[in-house]
Amino acid sequence: MSEFKLLINGDLVDGDMEMDVLNPATEETVATCARASEAQLESAIAAAKTAFPSWSATSIDDRKKAINAIADAIEANGEELARLLTQEQGKPLADATGEVFGTAAFFRYFTSLDLPVKVLDDSEGRRVEAHRKPLGVIGAIVPWNFPMILMAFKLPPALLAGNTVVLKPAPTTPLTSLKLGELIKDILPAGVVNIIADANDLGAPLTAHPDVRKISFTGSTATGAKVMAGAAGLLKRITLELGGNDAGIVLGDVNPKETAPKLFDSAFQNSGQVCIAMKRLYVHESIYDEMCDELATIADNAIIGDGLEQGTQLGPLQNKMQFEKVQELIKAAGEDGKIIAGGDVPDKPGYFIRPTIVRDVAEGSRIVDEEQFGPVLPVIKYADVDDAIDRANASEYGLGGSIWSADADKAYALADKMESGTVWVNKHAELDPAIPFGGAGMSGLGSELGEEGLEEFTQLKIINIAR
């Protein structure tokens, strides 16, 4: 079994401290892993800084070969990584397997991209070229809901662009990242990627470090604001993919029985622990009762349990803090509306909450106004679709949203009115490595994925030549 060591300057090293990692389905220890001190963080940053000149001078084709080799290693160890992911994160093994192999696919996608010199003007009097240059050391901070795939939003484009990286996973889900360090130790030159684990105490020094030129952070809006403040003193680049309170708006022309399963999956994937999960559902009054009933039936029939058990559809909340927060929101929801499915905590170990549907609730309730990040969906009645759009847009967040209708043209016109980084029509929460992803409002800054996501890891340099 892996010893779960840190990767610093090409070596697997013990942490100056250790920490236990719990299985959220059992509340038992999965493994004890290395925990880095601030001195070890300094060593990791120094190693990345030292490795940068050589790595940035490596040809892009050779960088692509290394990224593809990482994808090969992930796939070759996919079964072990998936099982480990389920144990530390809680999601069903099938979902964990999809995440692991999706991670490899995201790595391979970025090797399909290039950073060519673009000629902006080639006239008689001048030639103007746009070059994309690497930034230097990147601090990549990854959350606990998708430890593997969200790492793949950051690591491959950073490496392809010629940067070096210090990767910090969430304290409650460090094992898959540390295992990755073991797998890639001999694939990359020493110091190109360094992986540390902490107990929520190294994010601030990583963010504010003068030798780190960019922070790519995925996590809560509150923590994202702290990252932005920490980076401000040095005006370093930041990409922030933060919280969301995504609204789905269902028109009265849909078939509730056909649409309800899609809506349920959009809200409850990964037990609702998805930044772009549907977190508010607006349903036209003409089909409101039927839609609520259909959603409640699906919720009542959902199988929750340990992700390693056959047939489990939804796992636990990932950590105790989130578990307690969601319980508070459910309690408030029961006072403001009517809970028609779920709302209870099974009498067994683990951070389990049954999928919960709340009806007859509106803005002003915490369950509508706040991001629950758990298995709870408020269903809100509306009469006028323009009013529903206005209510959906009233949130401080703007990560994603969706319109559901039998008339795709009508839905498209309404989608244009929604104020969010991504709007889906008749689906929700679809991500593709080739499609840029980012939020509006308090949901973040910058873009990830696609060509735009790659360029976020570069400095634009213009060369203007007189003739």
Residue 298 sits in a domain whose CATH number is 3.40.309.10
**Tokens coding 378:** 């408020």
> Average pLDDT for residues 449-464, to the nearest whole number?
98
Q: Report if residue 437 sits inside a domain.
A: no
What does the alpha-carbon distance between residue 375 and residue 273 come to, in Å, rounded to a whole number?
Answer: 8
Amino acid identity, position 412: Y
Judgement on whether residues 287 and 172 belong to the same structural domain of the protein: no
Q: Report if residue 1 sits inside a domain.
A: no
| Residues 36/329, Cβ–Cβ less than 8 Å | no
**Tokens coding 32:** 């004890």
33 is catalytic: no
Provide, rounded to the nearest whole percent, the portion of the chain with pLDDT above 70: 100
The confidence score (pLDDT) of residue 435 equals 98
pLDDT, tens only, 33-79: 999 999 999 999 999 999 999 999 999 999 999 999 999 999 999 99
| Residues 383/276, Cβ–Cβ less than 8 Å | no
Q: Looking at residue 416, what DSSP letter applies?
A: T
Judgement on whether residues 232 and 255 belong to the same structural domain of the protein: no
Q: Report if residue 65 sits inside a domain.
A: yes
Q: Report if residue 457 sits inside a domain.
A: yes
Judgement on whether residues 417 and 268 belong to the same structural domain of the protein: yes
Provide, rounded to the nearest whole percent, the portion of the chain with pLDDT above 90: 99
Judgement on whether residues 184 and 298 belong to the same structural domain of the protein: no
Looking at 241, 371, 448, 456, which residue is catalytic? 241
Judgement on whether residues 319 and 216 belong to the same structural domain of the protein: no
The confidence score (pLDDT) of residue 2 equals 65
Judgement on whether residues 168 and 21 belong to the same structural domain of the protein: yes
Give the DSSP letter string of 135-189: -SEEEEE--SSSTTTTGGGTHHHHHHTT-EEEEE--TTS-HHHHHHHHHHTTTS-
The answer for residues whose C-beta is within 8 angstroms of residue 235's C-beta and 6 or more apart is: none
Judgement on whether residues 160 and 39 belong to the same structural domain of the protein: yes
- Confidence at 363, pLDDT banded by 50, 70, 90: very high
241 is catalytic: yes
Q: Report if residue 50 sits inside a domain.
A: yes
Judgement on whether residues 303 and 406 belong to the same structural domain of the protein: yes
Q: Report if residue 333 sits inside a domain.
A: yes
Mean of all residue pLDDT scores within the chain: 97
CATH number, domain containing residue 129: 3.40.605.10
Give the DSSP letter string of 200-258: S-SHHHHHH-TTEEEEEEES-HHHHHHHHHHHHTTT-EEEEE----EEEEE-TTS-HHH
| Residues 341/357, Cβ–Cβ less than 8 Å | yes
> Average pLDDT for residues 327-355, to the nearest whole number?
96
> 3-state DSSP call for residue 26?
coil
| Phi, psi angles (nearest 5°) of residue 145 | -80, -35
Looking at 88, 99, 275, 455, which residue is catalytic? 275
pLDDT, tens only, 33-46: 999 999 999 999 99
What does the alpha-carbon distance between residue 396 and residue 242 come to, in Å, rounded to a whole number?
Answer: 12
The answer for residues whose C-beta is within 8 angstroms of residue 339's C-beta and 6 or more apart is: 330, 333, 356, 357, 358
**Tokens coding 137:** 């050391």
Order of all β-strands in the sheet with 278-284: 338-341, 356-359, 376-382, 278-284, 246-250, 400-404, 422-425
- Confidence at 26, pLDDT banded by 50, 70, 90: very high
For residue 207, the enclosing domain spans: 6-242+443-466
Rounded to the nearest 10°, the torsion over CA 353, 358, 364, 370 is: 30
pTM for the predicted model, two decimal places: 0.96
| Phi, psi angles (nearest 5°) of residue 155 | -65, -50
Q: Would you call 383 exposed, middle or buried from its count of C-beta atoms within 10 A (0-12, 13-18, 19+)? A: exposed
What does the alpha-carbon distance between residue 395 and residue 393 come to, in Å, rounded to a whole number?
Answer: 5
Counted domains in the chain: 2
Give the DSSP letter string of 43-69: HHHHHHHHHHHHHHHS-HHHHHHHHHH
> Average pLDDT for residues 9-18, to the nearest whole number?
98
Judgement on whether residues 233 and 276 belong to the same structural domain of the protein: no
| Phi, psi angles (nearest 5°) of residue 241 | -110, 105
- Confidence at 262, pLDDT banded by 50, 70, 90: very high
| Residues 404/250, Cβ–Cβ less than 8 Å | yes
Q: How many other CB atoms are there within 10 angstroms of residue 279's CB atom?
A: 30
| Residues 280/368, Cβ–Cβ less than 8 Å | yes
Closest CA to 202 of 349, 364, 372, 34: 34
In terms of phi and psi (left: phi > 0; alpha: psi -120 to 50; beta: otherwise), the region of 33 is beta
Judgement on whether residues 67 and 54 belong to the same structural domain of the protein: yes
Judgement on whether residues 448 and 423 belong to the same structural domain of the protein: no
For 106, 356, 425, the CA distances from 163, given in Å and listed in that order, are 18, 44, 36
